[in-house]
């Protein structure tokens, strides 16, 4: 089984990190292909960056689909472009945010999300509402470390995230923690051990869900919201993306 | 006061129709500027089309902002790109979907939405949930007339929409009807008179709300979800859109 | 266009203040008529006061309707008597509470309400639930200044409200603030500037919405909840109010 | 224990019927006092009638309180004036609507309400939302028999209600039925037997809840929403109602 | 009228205390029968204990039903086995948790629950959601005193509970407090007086509701969720419990 | 990896069928152990049967835990005993109902559940509410075929289920169908192909989720709702189950 993971930002180092996180949990027969678009923002922090990551993301999904991958993963915690990607793919498409939320919901009564910047909280809260899981989330918290600073030792990211987890234990009575950024994938195990509760990374979660859908032969329903786009012209620079 | 209405699809005839609908209700001192992007889908029917209308839409918003308009309107009923537009503008941004929902909520106990194609129902339902108004909507219905066929006499669009309104009166006990597409703007008055209840067009609604925000001096809050995007490079073809 | 603003309490000074707030934002062609009933409580602080403000309020609405005003505004933040007023009027009726909530919902992800006394919190929370907008409100707060002390320098009202706004920024992550009393109308601009986020006054909001409904030709639906009252006798002192 | 039942409309025949329904289930030591105001509508059908029943209702509550009754019941299914009554009474106050809803919720998974006219549906739905029990109600239905026609043989009221119950069994999968008008009190037993499921009358339900609160020594909390009204002048004809 | 109260744990001293609490509020003609199963946990603290209290509980319900009691009460605040008990009984079955919640909802805008251990919070929150009353509950709090330590002077239980009530007044703005364990029944009156707001014990509440259902002739609906179990074999040690 | 699937009813033929369904999708290295308790109902149809399946189920979970399995699956669609099982296990525990719901939520906008008997609808609806996914479920339907008749050709089960799916497409606009009984596991593929949308079996879904949790090293949080039971005596026949 081949799984395409699309990092929707354009920072190759982050794509590699995401690929490693995916491969670390992939089953023996699973091939992980981690890519990112050539065009778009170097990190996604808020609604505006999201908007410009989607066309490139969808191009990668389309290429993966043409190449016959069994499942797609969108490796931005906001699940950027998820619904649009479902419309054009024959294979299932999984967002790392939803993947983490669904698994978290089966491991404890309430979970807390710790994301990067507070400007991203609204998008995550809206996703939780859309997915139905808002009542299972005690709080969405931000550690105020920018995405591309997560790997910068000076950012003290792990300590900031850990402090926020500590607060979520004290104040939210969270039983499970979800890490709210693909760039935090490498921290989950350590933070889980330190805090004594499950700490969930969406990339790894999504890989296992992708394998699950593949093994079960389950694909996105095409009878409603995710129907194949109607053929029509797209004008100008987006003409190549027009559905046929 | 100058109000920019962006039709996020690339069909100029529809932009003109939308402009007319806006001008028909604008206050004496209001100038309506109706534009559409050069790049993108000729109509928006589902999540995929939405994705490719957003970059062009945001470019128009940015131009309008630079030109000092007092408010922006996004004239696609899915409120495509609304949050992203709010991030980059100093002026308020209003979606025609939300405009119609908020006004409908003040005119009756429950409203029904009649949109074009059933593939658009999910996006509208998710918006209602996000805005908080899902409990006020009895049902989102589709008349199954494609966007660009609304003006085609052969589509029998007015009759199809009217039949759906009749069903919503019988089955949903709707007290108010919201027309779920910018292309239906010209039908509201006639359908309202025929059916004996308020029938709301989002374009006209948004123009009056834009004037209201302008007169009140109210602008989008920049302290959280809609904070100005952080400066960062965008690679490739989207480089010109990078926030500075 | 003539808009009737009914202050449902019997304090003429407050009616004048409300009238000024309305006129300050009214469009050139709009005439604002601000009245209050002769009978009833001098201020509305809780459910009991509300009950005795409604008959006089409805009498004013009926007079305004007979005089042919284009829209009615109920200038008590609890939206006292709103549904009953809608039943008897041919014109739209807007509560200042709902007006502020709906506008606030288009300016930020979450808003906070700052009202006068904590005994009024329940009614406001129940209204938010009824309107559908409870999920958009982070918290309803009280500054514990009575309605008629708002203008008393000794009450230190502006400072109390400002302190509550500061708390809402810190604790609720509110992006927008709604002032929860008609008597706070004069403070909005100053507090907005000081705190750097939109601070919304319901009186001004309602005036612009009333103008919007007027311009759009939209009136309350009479097919369900707000149907014209059935003709029947009212006994005793309320006989003159009996629907015919 | 003395329980005051206030029929908030001014039709004495209905008050007598309500008194009989209350006495039929009262415990040996319970005295039922059934009254109605002298002033106000002869029946309550919609929001406007509600508004003019409240002052008279509150006057009766105040008299009952002064006379030392142990509990008050408001015998209109819309629970007209319930919150205001709670503010001025030392004793608990129970609405027949809420009484029926709470008992229904303990007898089956979902209940249906059958009320008189469809114009009353919105108020009942809003009450269910306010009480928290909306998720337990499958549907609010109207049999379209006016309140004062319930006892008119020509109205065929029992058959109309029975037909609506039949529909609620078929379409709503209701397990319990709540009769949505005080004037239906005499029909509950017969309809229950005929349809083979619990059919609940609010008047009888409220009497037993009033006895329960009395026996338990439980009274309305006065620390928040239902705090004693603040002393203040009421002007004009309502001056006698001013809180002291 | 005979009411069976089943304490689902196996601690006879607690059963006696519960019986006393029930008898203290029972009407003159009411006989309270308080029992506990012979088999099962000595206290119920969390989901696992719950599971092993249910078979014995259901056996007691069945015996009570055979003996012709008018109503059953399940005297564990988690309402353990409530739905199953409803399936096999002809008489109404009331959980002390739901009894307290429903009464609390009629005495104030919001209530807080103070239970024993934090591990019980999730079950109570889930019940509130199931009953529909989650929106009426400000918070479920734990005083961290184990069930069987409530009567141990060394546990300082009353003081711990009182401190938690104080916090709920300050932080949750609770207007009503619900005691979240049958073993707290004796503390309600004292805490209510001390804190100046209604403090509700579920055992007493359930007794009065049981009397209410008995007097009203209302029984559990058998047409859906609580239908009589289908006859079928149960194997092994549970064979005697098989429905016939 | 060893996964224990517990069929909580005592019908060995059904356990075998469930085991086959699990093995059909298990990864190469996964060993599926399918068991059922010796004691309890031969099928689970409603709350009462559920109650008597739980002790035996928990005994099997405890044995599996002692034997070191990596995950447990509870193969009854009501997710019988799920929370209790989580309390005593070191490994994750997955209900087939929740497994199917979570996967369905990632494949379409709304799903419909088709279960066996209508008496089971309430438990499933309550689970959806508890899990947070009620808003994602269009309807819970029953085909009215008893659990043990699913394999009886005379029951015409497949046709009954298929007819209900057809109705869900027409009336609920369901995009995904969840089969609401472990005994329907063999029908999913055929019905999916016939109806042209994803049809999900919970047993297979749970196996893949169990493998996912195993591979990710994620276990149930033990810090709150699912804390290890406190050591205490259980009296009588349940003494062996007492937590130590």
Residue-wise pLDDT tens digits, D122-157: 999 999 999 999 999 999 999 999 999 998 889 899
CB contact under 8 A, B125 and F109: yes
CA B142, CA B151: separation in Å to the nearest integer?
A: 16
CA F72, CA F82: separation in Å to the nearest integer?
A: 10
Q: Which partners does chain B have (≥3 C-beta pairs < 8 Å)?
A: A, C, D, F
Q: What is the 3-state secondary structure (H, E, C) of chain C?
A: CEEEEECCCCCHHHHHHHHHHHHHHCCCCCEEEEECCCCEECCCCCHHHHHHHHHHHHHHHHHHHHCCCCEEEECCCCCCCHHHHHHHCCCCEEEHHHHHHHHHHCCCCCEEEEECCHHHHHHHHHHHHHHCCHHHEEEEEECCCCHHHCCCHHHCHHHHHHHHHHHHHHHCCCCEEEEECHHHHHHHHHHHHHHCCCEEEHHHHHHHHHHHHHHHCCCCCCCCCCCCCCCCCEEHHHHHHCCC
Is D98 an 8 Å CB contact of chain C?
A: no
- By percentage, how much of chain D surpasses pLDDT 70? 100
* Nearest neighbour of A238 by CB, restricted to B52, B118, B121: B52
Q: Average model confidence (pLDDT) for chain C?
A: 97
Mutate to test the interface with F, among E39, E46, E116 (most CBs of F within 10 A): E46
Mutate to test the interface with B, among A7, A44, A48 (most CBs of B within 10 A): A48
For residue A22, what pLDDT band results from cuts at 50, 70 and 90? very high
The answer to whether the beta carbons of residues A26 and A93 sit under 8 Å apart is no
Residue E99 pLDDT greater than 90, yes or no: yes
CB contact under 8 A, C173 and A122: no
CA E148, CA E155: separation in Å to the nearest integer?
A: 10
The answer to whether the beta carbons of residues B35 and B15 sit under 8 Å apart is yes
Contacts with F58 from chain E: Cβ below 8 Å: 48, 51-52
Identify the pLDDT of residue F58: 98
Q: Which residue of F has its CA nearest to E52?
A: F55
Q: Average model confidence (pLDDT) for chain E?
A: 97
The answer to whether the beta carbons of residues A112 and A137 sit under 8 Å apart is yes
Contacts with F118 from chain E: Cβ below 8 Å: 224
CB contact under 8 A, C198 and B221: yes
Is D144 an 8 Å CB contact of chain B?
A: no
CA C25, CA C32: separation in Å to the nearest integer?
A: 10
Contacts with D241 from chain C: Cβ below 8 Å: 52
Sequence-distant (≥ 6) Cβ neighbours of residue F116 within 8 angstroms: F45, F142, F143, F144, F145, F146, F147, F150, F180, F181, F183
CA C75, CA D21: separation in Å to the nearest integer?
A: 41
Helix D96-105 and helix D202-216, axial crossing angle in degrees, nearest 10: 90
Identify the pLDDT of residue C90: 86
Mutate to test the interface with C, among D8, D52, D58, D120 (most CBs of C within 10 A): D52
Is A125 an 8 Å CB contact of chain C?
A: yes
How many angstroms away from the CA of C93 is the closest CA of chain D? 14
CB contact under 8 A, C58 and D48: yes
Sequence-distant (≥ 6) Cβ neighbours of residue E112 within 8 angstroms: E137, E138, E139, E140, E141, E165, E168, E172, E174, E176, E177, E178
Is F204 an 8 Å CB contact of chain A?
A: yes
Distance from the first to the final alpha carbon of chain B? 27
Q: Which of F123, F187, F124, F177 is nearest to F155 (CA)?
A: F187
Contacts with C88 from chain D: Cβ below 8 Å: 48
- By percentage, how much of chain C surpasses pLDDT 90? 97
- pLDDT tens digit sequence for F152-185: 889 899 999 999 999 999 999 999 999 999 999 9
Contacts with C137 from chain A: Cβ below 8 Å: none
CB contact under 8 A, C232 and D49: yes
Q: Which of F178, B206, A75, F62 is nearest to E51 (CA)?
A: F62
For residue A146, what pLDDT band results from cuts at 50, 70 and 90? very high
Identify the pLDDT of residue B151: 86
* Contact D/E (≥3 CB pairs under 8 Å): yes
CB contact under 8 A, C109 and A118: no
The answer to whether the beta carbons of residues C67 and C143 sit under 8 Å apart is no
Identify the pLDDT of residue F22: 98
Q: Which residues are registered as beta bridge partners of A35? A: A6
For residue A151, what pLDDT band results from cuts at 50, 70 and 90? confident
Domains detected in chain C: 2-96+204-241 (3.40.50.12500), 98-202 (3.40.50.12500)
Q: In what order do the strands lie in the sheet with A2-6?
A: A31-35, A2-6, A71-74, A93-95
Q: What angle do CA A232, A235, A237 make, to 5 degrees?
A: 125
Structure token digits, residue C163: 């302190």
Exposure letters A118-149 (e unless 16+ CB within 10 A, then b): bbbbbbbbbbbbbbbbbbbbbbbbbbebbbbb
Contacts with F82 from chain A: Cβ below 8 Å: none
Range 1-30 of A in CB contact (< 8 A) with C: none
Q: Which residue of B has its CA nearest to D126?
A: B109
Residue D173 has phi, psi (to 5 degrees) of 50, 35
* Contact B/E (≥3 CB pairs under 8 Å): no
* ipTM metric: 0.97
Each residue's pLDDT, cut to its tens digit, for chain B (244 residues) gives: 999 999 999 999 999 999 999 999 999 999 999 999 999 999 999 999 999 999 999 999 999 999 999 999 999 999 999 999 999 998 999 999 999 999 999 999 999 999 999 999 999 999 999 999 999 999 999 999 999 999 888 989 999 999 999 999 999 999 999 999 999 999 999 999 999 999 999 999 999 999 999 999 999 999 999 999 999 999 999 999 999 8
Is C109 an 8 Å CB contact of chain A?
A: yes
Is A212 an 8 Å CB contact of chain F?
A: yes
Alpha helices by DSSP H, B67-154: 82-88, 96-105, 121-131
Structure token digits, residue B67: 């030109």
Range 45-64 of D in CB contact (< 8 A) with E: none
Mutate to test the interface with A, among F207, F212, F226 (most CBs of A within 10 A): F212
In the block, which residue shows the tokens 């309500």?
D18
Contacts with B135 from chain D: Cβ below 8 Å: 129
Is F133 an 8 Å CB contact of chain E?
A: no
CA D2, CA D33: separation in Å to the nearest integer?
A: 7
**Greatest mean pLDDT range, A54-68, B147-161, E145-159:** A54-68
* Nearest neighbour of C235 by CB, restricted to D40, D50, D81: D40
Residue D63 pLDDT greater than 90, yes or no: yes
Identify the pLDDT of residue C92: 98
The mean pLDDT value for A187-200 works out to 97
* Contact C/B (≥3 CB pairs under 8 Å): yes
CB contact under 8 A, F175 and A221: yes
Structure token digits, residue C184: 């706070």
Mutate to test the interface with F, among D107, D108, D109 (most CBs of F within 10 A): D109
Q: How far is CA E154 from CA C76, D138, E11, E122, E187, in A?
A: 54, 49, 19, 27, 16
DSSP line for A156-222: THHHHHHHHHHHHHHHS--SEEEEESGGGGGGHHHHHHHHTS-EEEHHHHHHHHHHHHHHHT-----
Alpha helices by DSSP H, chain A: 12-25, 47-66, 82-88, 96-105, 121-131, 157-171, 188-195, 202-216
How many angstroms away from the CA of F109 is the closest CA of chain B? 7
Identify the pLDDT of residue D151: 86
How many angstroms away from the CA of E28 is the closest CA of chain D? 9
Q: Side-chain half-sphere of D136: how many Cα atoms within 13 Å?
A: 30
The answer to whether the beta carbons of residues D158 and D187 sit under 8 Å apart is yes
In the block, which residue shows the tokens 């109309």?
D160
CB contact under 8 A, D173 and F118: yes
Q: Which residue of B has its CA nearest to D123?
A: B109
Structure token digits, residue F208: 């893949």
Residue C101 pLDDT greater than 90, yes or no: yes
Is E132 an 8 Å CB contact of chain A?
A: no
CA B89, CA B243: separation in Å to the nearest integer?
A: 12
In the block, which residue shows the tokens 């190759």?
A12
- pLDDT tens digit sequence for C197-218: 999 999 999 999 999 999 999 9
- pLDDT tens digit sequence for E170-229: 999 999 999 999 999 999 999 999 999 999 999 999 999 999 999 999 999 999 999 999
Identify the pLDDT of residue E90: 86
How many angstroms away from the CA of D116 is the closest CA of chain B? 16
**Count of pairs with CB atoms under 8 A, one residue in B, one in C:** 144
């Amino acid at each position: 089984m081949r799984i395409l993971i699309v990092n929707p930002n354009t920072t190759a180092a982050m794509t590699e990190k995401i690929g490693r996180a995916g491969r670390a949990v992939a089953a023996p027969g699973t091939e992980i292909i981690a890519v990112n678009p050539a065009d778009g923002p170097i990190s996604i922090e808020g609604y505006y960056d999201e908007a410009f990551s989607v066309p490139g993301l969808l191009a990668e999904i389309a290429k993966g689909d043409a190449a016959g991958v069994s499942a797609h993963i969108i490796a931005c915690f906001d699940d950027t472009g998820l619904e649009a990607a479902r419309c054009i793919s024959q294979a299932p498409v999984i967002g790392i945010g939803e993947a983490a939320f669904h698994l978290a919901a089966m491991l404890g009564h309430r979970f807390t999300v710790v994301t990067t910047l507070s400007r991203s909280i609204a998008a995550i809260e809206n996703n939780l509402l859309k997915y139905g899981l808002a009542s299972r989330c005690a709080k969405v918290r931000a550690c105020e470390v920018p995405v591309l600073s997560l790997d910068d030792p000076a950012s003290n990211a792990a300590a900031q995230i850990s402090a926020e987890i500590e607060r979520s234990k004290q104040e939210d009575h969270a039983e499970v923690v979800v890490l709210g950024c693909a760039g935090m994938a490498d921290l989950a195990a350590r933070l889980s051990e330190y805090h004594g509760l499950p700490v969930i990374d969406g990339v790894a979660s999504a890989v296992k869900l992708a394998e699950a859908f593949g093994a079960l032969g389950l694909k996105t329903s095409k009878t409603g919201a995710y129907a194949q786009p109607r053929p029509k012209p797209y004008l100008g620079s987006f003409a190549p993306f027009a559905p046929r």
